[in-house]
Structures are given as C-alpha cells and as structure tokens.
Amino acid sequence: MSVISKAASAAAILYGLSAANVFAQDTQVLPSIEIDSDDLPTGPVSSETLSRDRIAPLQSGTSDTTAVISRLPGVSSYSAGGFSGLPVIRGLEIRRLTILVDGVPIDIACANEMNTPLSYTDPQTIDAISVITGVTPVSMGGDSIGGAISVETQTPRFAKAGETLLTGELSAFYRSNGDGFGGALSATVASDRLSLSYAGSFTQSDNYKGGGHDGIVRSTEYKKTDHALSLAAQTDIGLFELKGGYQYAPYEGFANQYMDMTSNKSWYLNGHWKGAFDWGDLDLRAFYRDTDHKMNFLADKGGSANGGMPMNTETHSAGYTLKGDIVLSNRDTLRLGSEFHHQWLNDYWPAVAGDMMMGPNTYININAAKRDRLGAFAEWEAKWTQQLTTLIGVRNDQVWMNTGEVQPYSTSMMNAADAMAAATFNAADRKRHDSNWSATALVRYALNEQAILELGYARKSRSPSVYERYSWGRGSMSSRMIGWFGDGNGYVGDLALKPERADTVSAAVSLKGGGADGWMLRIAPYYTRVHDYIDVVKLADFTNMMGIPTGFVQLRFANRDAELYGVDVSGSLALWQSSMAGTAKLTASASWLRGRNLDDGGSLYHQMPLNATFALEHRLGGWDSAVELAVVADKNRADATRNEPRTNGYALVNLRTGYAWGNYRMGLDVQNLFDKGYDLPLGGMSLGDYKATGALRPAPGRGRSFNVGLTAKF
C-alpha cells in the first residue's frame, strides 16, 4: 500500500469519526517527592501524577525528566546522557512504552537512542507528568506492550473576561558535582480569548565525580537549549492551539556508549483542537518534527575535529490523533479514535579521509526507511454504580515498513563481513506489514471512601523498530555502533522479527484512613507474559589483536518468550500536625521485580533489583524539609548472554530543605550525603573510562553534590 493510499484511508476514518489524556534509580537519587494520585473513577489506581508544584523543587537536582519519574514505584531508569535517561516500567524498556509529549509521540533518531522523547523536555518547564504503570487503556496509544508516560509542557492559560493576564516563572540552579548550571523562563500573556506562551531553558554540566574513590566519570558532560512558543484561542467551536519549538544540543557525553552526541537539532510544529458538543467531546492533534542528529567521539574518547567516526541520522515524523467521547447515557460513554504516524529515517556514516577501514565510501546504515502506522480503537466505559466502573477496549494497528539498499565502507578484505552482509540484505525482500490487535479490560470497585480495588487485563502488541529490523552490519566495528543498551556489545538486526504480543494481568488495592492527613497504603502486583519478545542470540565473541576475548560479544535480535512479574508498594503516615511544630509524615515506596527469558531460563536484561525509598518530611510555615534513605539490593540476576555486570547493593542518604515566601522560593539539597561509591544496577559498562584507561568497570553512580535552586513567579 502506498503512502498516498494510507493517507486516504486515514482521512476516510477521520471523516467518519467526525461525522459521528494520560497518558531507583538513575545516575542520581532524587529528593523525596509528594505524589498527586489520580482518583477519578476512570483513572487507574496504578497511576501517578506529578504537578508543577511537585516537580519544581526537583529541578535543581537533575536535568533529566526520566530521573524525576524514576522514583515512582515500578519505574526505573537505565543510564545514558545527562538529560537522556531511558525509562523502564515494570521491567519493560523505552521502546515498549507509550511516551507522549504534549499529546504526541516523538521518534528516536539515533542507533544508540541518544535523543529519547523525554530528552526534548526539561524539568524546569514541565507543567505535569503522568505515569501509568499498570494496564494502559487502548485509547492511550498503540504499538506498545507496557505502561505509559505523558508530559505536558505548556498548558494554555486565559484571563477572566475583560482582563489581561501576565504570568510566568523564572528559575536558575547550580550543582557542585559536575559544575552544572542552568535556568529557564516561562511566560504567558493572555486575554479571555487568546493566550501566547513562551518557554525556554538552558542547562550545562561537566563530567561528574563518582562517589567514594570512583573519581571522575568520563563522558558525562552535556549542554542543551530548548525553546517553545504556543498560541491558543478559545472560540465558540472549541479550543485551538498551535505550538512550535526548537532544541539545539551541541554535545552530550555517553559514559556507557562508544559514541557521543556531537549535535542534535530538532524542530517541531503541533496543532490541537478540542471541542465540546451536546453528544460529547472531540479531540484532534496533528504534528510534524524534523531532527538532524550527529554522533562522534568527544575529547574523553579521543575525538578530533577532522577524524573519529562521524555518524549522521535524519528523521522526519508526521501524523495525527483523533479521539471522540460519545455520551450514550448517564452510565455509558463510547470512545472512538484513529491515529496515523509516519516515520522516515536516514542513517549514514561519512567516510574518514585517510582511514582504510572507514572509507572510501559512505557507510549507509539505514537508507530512507519508512515506518507507517495506522491505528483505530473503540472503548466502552460504564459507571454501573457509584462504586463500580468498567472499561473495555479493542484496538488494531496496521504497520508498514520498508527501506532502501545499503552500502559498506568498502568491499575490501578489511570490510569483508560488512560487504557480504550488505549484499545479502540488498537481495532480500525488505517490505514488512504487521496487523496488530490489542484489547484491554479494567474493573474498578470502591468498597468505600477508604478502599479501592482494581483488576486489569491487557493483550498488547508492538512491531519491531527500524533499527531492530534493518540494522545489517556484521563487522565488529559496525555492529558495535548499534545498540541502546550501554553494554559495549554489538547488535545486528533481523528481517524475520515478529511483533511482540504481551498478556498482562495487573491488580491494585488502595487503602487510606485518618482523613486528609492520615495514612495511605497502595499494593500493586502484576504478571506479564510476552510471546515473541525481542531479545538476542549470540553470534560471536569479540577478540583483540591477539585473539583474546574482550568480554564483549556480537548479538542478533531474535524473538523469544519471556515473563515478568512483581509487586509495587507505596504508603505514607502522618506523624503530627500542630501550629507550633508544623506537620511531619513518613513516606515509603518499594518495588520487587523478576524478568525471565523462558527459552534459556536466564534473566532478562535491565531488570532492577529490589529497591526502596524511605523519607521523613516536615513542613513549618514557608519551610519544607526532608531526610531520605534510598536502598538498592544486590543485583544478582543478570543477563549472561550480554555479559551484564552484577552490582553490589547500596544505601544513599539525601537531604533537602527549601523556603518559600510570596512568589519566591530558594531550595538547597545534598544528594549522596556521605559520598557513597556505588555502581548503577542498570548503568551498563563505563566505556568512556575504558577508552581512556583500558580498565573495564560498571558505570559508577554520582557522588555527593550540593545543589541550590532559585525560583520566582510573576
């Protein structure tokens, strides 16, 4: 089917619908956060929402949005760049999740996943973040088998009738570890009908120091700037919004990758219309994004202006989402929707003058690949009583993929493996078409105001990504340039990959008592069985010039069967409340997870060990303070196929305090108070240090850092 015919089909669906939001452990442990829970009848119990008021105190400690959410139960992060952490929800990694920024998806334009969707956000300018860790309704998106993350960066604000609104926020921060600094400005000027908003941020950091005697962790520096402009209008036929933005990141080091990011330029334009009618609501979004991404070696890895190994990627994305809520009765609501998502990707590695291995031709890794997805869903919500709500949905996603012929650096003996692989790849049929069906069912029962039960089932599907299907290089060097796992291994794609199909059963119970300032307990067990899980099989060991294994291996993506199961627990307990002593409470959260490859019985990759966070929080007048203990157990279960490192358990103590007066706030926090040295359980290998010293070690966590932040609202 041609793109034109796909677009015509999409337009037909859109027309038919028109006739008839959702949505530990990174390189640093964050201060304690208070969670706003979504207790709406249609909201899953296993969901969390962080408002602007909760995010703002955290922005002095991190420039990575993934780090902000990685302390939520069931959410973790595997290490990447300083603002490009890769989220994991209940053991399922980023490619298996639904991630939306302002209601639209963002394609990754990198063989190492350096420009993830959340890397285009900044905690300084985020209005809200919502996370679903359990069963995700089909209306929240397709082509995923795990949870969902939704980020809202600029919510339109309007003035009262006859008035003019001018509001905004100015912030700045400094971090001692890495000498990091930055700031942001957001501002809105509005009438009761029109609203114009701007948000911009800047952040920069040098390499950070590991805890204890770990020293400087190379390739952890970064720098980026973000700008966004939004125009919204309230009219008699609904809310219209037009938003555009631009990001420029001149560099970002990646401690656990062979490559670094040497430039990322991305601009986008989003359109949004939402209308309310007698019969229900209609919501339409359209988007376009253009990204130019470059990789090479920064100074830590021996980079030079005219050498190294340049790798360039270009991506164009476009599409729409249309959702309609039709009120059938006081009890029943029918949701219908359609989505179209087009991705075009070009990945090529220019020849290096004078280098016999990397020349004389341009290495064409991905040649104008296309990945088009057309989805449609129907969802029925029924409020049977004040206590009982059900949500049932079905969805289909049609995925078409294709790519052009590829080319190695040369056909000489030095590149013989790549030359043979290119010839085989070019001779193969590269067109693929998947028809993926998904279904979800959720039942929620409130026994009373203190107890809520939820049970959900999901059958979800996901097609392979462009890089999983179309990465073809078989040489040692070329395959090691593919992979977003931070393990130093080489990865080869597989044209024969099948879509993943996952069955998930998730439950949750939420208990509370003692009024608004009493106690709360939430327990959420789950089980997921994945058929045709995209894992790897070993092809060969990498050896040095003497033929001695280096500890790194070459792997090919392959379908396997897998299971993941675990439980997330969180709670809080008020200790006291008085006018003289303020208020105090204890908060705690813990997550336990197991992920197994059912074909070989081994552990799945990037599975977080048992971890827990305990905090004592205190508020008195304008002061808010907390003492936090973050505990992570030994990582004894590791993926032997990828030589995943095992790590020792650790405990970190963090302090924070802040004072707010009027529209101003000043905050100070100390992360890793005792400068504890530890290895990141999901951090992979410290390849930046390996390149410089020849010594191989797991990626170290961040040492002690004093962070200060200032915020002014107007």
Q: Is 596 helix (H, G, I), strand (E, B) or coil?
A: strand
Question: Is there a contact between 634 and 662 (Cβ–Cβ < 8 Å)?
Answer: no
Q: What is the number of domains present in the chain?
A: 1
Count Cα neighbours of 353 within 13 Å in the Cβ-side half-sphere: 3
d(CA 501, CA 436): 9
pLDDT at residue 304 in the model:
65
Residue 8 has pLDDT above 50, yes or no: no
The pTM score is 0.92
Of 93, 174, 84, whose CA–CA distance to 121 is shortest? Answer: 84
Determine phi and psi for 487, rounding to 5 degrees. Answer: -110, -5
Residue whose token pair is 């409470």: 585
- pLDDT at residue 38 is higher than 80: no
The boundaries of the domain holding residue 560 are: 3-713
Q: Which residues pair with 383 in a beta bridge?
A: 389
Distance CA 85, CA 253 (A): 12
| Residue 26: strand pairing partners | none
What radius of gyration, in Å, describes the C-alpha atoms of the chain?
25
Q: How confident is the model at residue 354 (pLDDT cuts 50, 70, 90)?
A: confident
Residue-level pLDDT at 26 = 38
Check if the beta carbon of residue 442 is closer than 8 Å to that of residue 507.
no
Query: Is residue 547 scored above 80 in pLDDT?
Result: no
Which residue in 345, 346, 351 sits closest to 363, CA to CA?
A: 351
Q: Is the pLDDT of residue 420 over 70?
A: yes
Whether the Cβ atoms of residue 160 and residue 179 lie closer than 8 Å to each other: no
Q: Which helix (H) or strand (E) holds 399?
A: strand 388-402
**pLDDT for the residue numbered 12:** 39
At 305 the pLDDT is 55
Q: Nearest-CA neighbor of 531 among 468, 462, 435, 605?
A: 462
Paired residues of 326 in beta bridges: 280, 334
Q: How confident is the model at residue 344 (pLDDT cuts 50, 70, 90)?
A: very high
Candidates 167, 165, 158; CA nearest to 185 is 167
Does residue 178 contact residue 210 with C-beta atoms inside 8 Å?
no
pLDDT at 533: 98
Strand partners, 671: 705
- Closest CA relative to residue 528, chosen from 552, 561, 559, 502: 502
Structure confidence at residue 306 as a pLDDT band (50, 70, 90): low
Output the domain CATH number for residue 167: 2.40.170.20
